[in-house]
């Protein structure tokens, strides 16, 4: 068989492998989303920073990221949101400790470079939370889930699942208040 025949066979095999890999990835993501929907907790997350397009009622973006903080407390009271605002205020000067864990280093990098960390909850260090479990994340904020299709409030709702090493979250629609 000429060399081009082997090249074509190799390309076909590679294309099939890529398709199979993509199917596996999509199925894993779907299973993760089903688990999150089934087992996750609904929480309110205070917005620390959101892309300006989310505030613009005339913007046509489908979604953009926001930096948020939240606890696993099922509490959307004004007092709880004020507590989360205090945590956000401390993030303005946040510098990770040299001996800080991986979460702390990732949060520090995200804040200093204004880069997203994905939809993985990262625990903030005790030194700024007084020992309370408070998390940082950069979820996608979907305009279709916002009142009037743009940000008008300083918080969003999330479905969060933290189970050992498994950590995931996703924005959900606002609850009736």
Q: pLDDT tens digits for 53-94? A: 999 999 999 999 999 999 998 888 999 999 999 999 999 889
**Mean pLDDT computed over 153-163:** 90
Query: How does DSSP classify residue 124?
Result: P
- What does the pLDDT read at residue 26? 72
pLDDT score for 87: 95
pLDDT of residue 71: 95
C-alpha to C-alpha distance for 55 and 144, rounded to whole angstroms: 13
Mean pLDDT over each residue of the chain, to the nearest integer: 88
Q: Please give the backbone phi and psi of residue 7, each rounded to the nearest 5 degrees, phi first.
A: -65, -45
pLDDT > 80? residue 150: yes
Quote the pLDDT of residue 52: 92
CB 41 within 8 A of CB 163: no
pLDDT score, position 32 = 66
**Residue written as token pair 């904020």:** 141
Instruction: Read off the pLDDT band of 119 (50, 70, 90).
Output: confident
Residue 30 has pLDDT above 70, yes or no: no
> What DSSP state is assigned to residue 99?
T
* Residue 7 or residue 142, greater confidence: 142
pLDDT of residue 64: 92
Q: Could you give the 3-state DSSP secondary structure of residue 135? A: strand
pLDDT score for 177? 58
Residue 84 has what pLDDT? 96
User: Does the pLDDT at position 18 exceed 80?
Assistant: yes
């Amino acid at each position: 068989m000429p060399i081009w025949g082997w090249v074509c066979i190799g390309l076909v095999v590679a294309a099939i492998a890529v398709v199979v890999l993509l199917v596996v990835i999509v199925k894993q993501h779907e299973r993760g989303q089903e688990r999150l929907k089934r087992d996750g907790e609904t929480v309110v997350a205070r917005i620390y920073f959101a892309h300006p397009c989310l505030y613009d009622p005339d913007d046509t973006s489908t979604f953009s990221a926001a930096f948020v903080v939240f606890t696993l407390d099922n509490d959307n009271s004004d007092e709880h949101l004020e507590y989360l605002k205090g945590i956000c205020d401390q993030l303005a000067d946040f510098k990770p400790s040299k001996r800080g864990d991986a979460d702390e280093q990732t949060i520090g990098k995200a804040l200093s470079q204004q880069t997203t960390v994905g939809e993985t909850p990262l625990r903030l260090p005790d030194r700024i939370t007084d020992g309370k479990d408070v998390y940082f994340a950069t979820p996608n904020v979907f305009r279709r889930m916002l009142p009037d299709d743009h940000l008008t409030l300083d918080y969003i709702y999330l479905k969060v699942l933290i189970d050992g090493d498994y950590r995931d979250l996703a924005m959900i629609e606002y609850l009736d208040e």
